[in-house]
Amino acid sequence: MVVLSFCYFFVVIFACSEVESSAHTFYAQFSSFMDNAGWHSVDVPNPRKNPSKAIPADKIDEYLAVYNATVLPASWICNPDGYISARNYKGANDDIDSFNKETTSELGIVVINSIDPNENISEFARKVFNNWEIGSSVSNNGILFVLSVNDRLMQFQNGAGAKEMTQTVMSNIFDNVKPLLRDANYDRAVTTVIEGVKNAFKHQSPNNNNTNGLSTVGTISIVISVVLVVALVLFIFLCCCCPCCAPILACFSCGSRSSGYYDRPGYYDRPGYYDRPGYYGRPDPFYDHPPHHGFHEHHRHHESSPAAPRSTTTYNSFGGCSTAGGSSAGSSW
């Protein structure tokens, strides 16, 4: 009896351990499934409105310590999976904040583990751009950079007003970031993206071009205008002061011309074919019949009828702060 009791006890313990092991395995598989499910565009927190949601929940105290604050301030970076360290998170936000103030543009960054399989990265970036309403409502010059680590994908989405973000600029930034991502140096990768965007605006910004001088087209236009004015003044001076050139000016000013064949007196005064008596007075059966049956009156009726108004349609450009209507580019590493 005692032996049977011990056997039953060990069987129960073994069964419980198997249940616990199965529970751990199920939890691990469920967690892996949730990680592979990835982020959906509508679920990505806006760091400007919910900064505490844009960082890992278990690291809030670490971020608060770096900021030396009790409440996290609004941010430009969404880092919900903790790929960016707290210290670099603050430094990168400070750089973006200074860039946004200097250029009146807005740069936002998203760093996540993966994207929902039902969305591709370009669609994901466009929707997040629109949801966050990045950029000025007047110039539509927002910029969004998305980095999906497990998918090994990155994407730029720009507003129509961010002309500085050309395909060449974005391609160069991708090339500079790829080696850092392969080494899992996400802090430095984000910093490199910010530096690349800042350099693009520094070298291609229209404001900088205005401060450094006139554009080539403007300079050429001014030179041509000056040459034409000088030529006109010189021409008038020579015609007025030079005896040899005075008749030329008189010719242009008076509009005189040499007399020709049709300037002979009486050429237009002689009677012609159409001056014969009764030419226009003779009855015409085509034009003199009752007006409501005639072609002439019918034609006049159609001429006097008001024309049907043309339909006009006005199309609005994207131009709003919540529309991603500009360039975009993506890459893997």
- DSSP secondary structure of 147-200: EETTTTEEEEEE-TT-TT--HHHHHHHHHHHHHHHHTT-HHHHHHHHHHHHHHH
Is residue 288 helix, strand or coil?
A: coil
CB 155 within 8 A of CB 146: yes
Strand order in the sheet with 77-78: 77-78, 106-112, 142-148, 153-158, 328-332
Joined tokens for residue 299: 């034609």
Q: How far apart are the first and last CA of the chain?
A: 67
Structural domains of the chain, ranges and CATH numbers in brackets: 44-210+322-332 (3.10.310.50)
pTM: 0.57
For tokens 């007006």, the residue is: 291
Burial code (b: 16+ CB inside 10 Å, e: under 16) for 74-92 equals: ebbbbbbbbbbbbebbbbb
CB 136 within 8 A of CB 105: yes
Q: Length of the chain, please?
A: 333
Alpha-carbon separation of residue 87 from 83, 129, 168, 192 (angstroms): 12, 26, 31, 16
The angle, 0 to 180 degrees and rounded to 10, between the axes of the packed helices 186-204 and 86-103 is 10
CB 99 within 8 A of CB 197: yes
Per-residue pLDDT of the chain (333 residues; tens, 9 = 90+): 555 555 555 555 555 555 455 544 444 444 444 445 799 999 999 999 999 999 999 999 999 999 999 999 999 999 999 999 999 999 999 999 999 999 989 999 999 999 999 999 999 999 999 999 998 888 899 999 999 999 999 999 999 999 999 999 999 999 999 999 999 999 999 999 999 999 999 865 444 444 344 445 567 878 888 888 888 877 777 666 666 665 555 555 554 444 454 555 555 555 555 555 555 555 555 545 555 444 444 444 444 444 443 333 322 222 345 455 567 777 777
Alpha-carbon separation of residue 50 from 45, 148, 175, 249 (angstroms): 6, 20, 32, 78
| Among candidate residues 87, 51, 86, 98, the one with its CA nearest the CA of residue 71 | 51
Q: Given this model, what pLDDT does residue 94 score?
A: 96
Q: Given this model, what pLDDT does residue 263 score?
A: 53
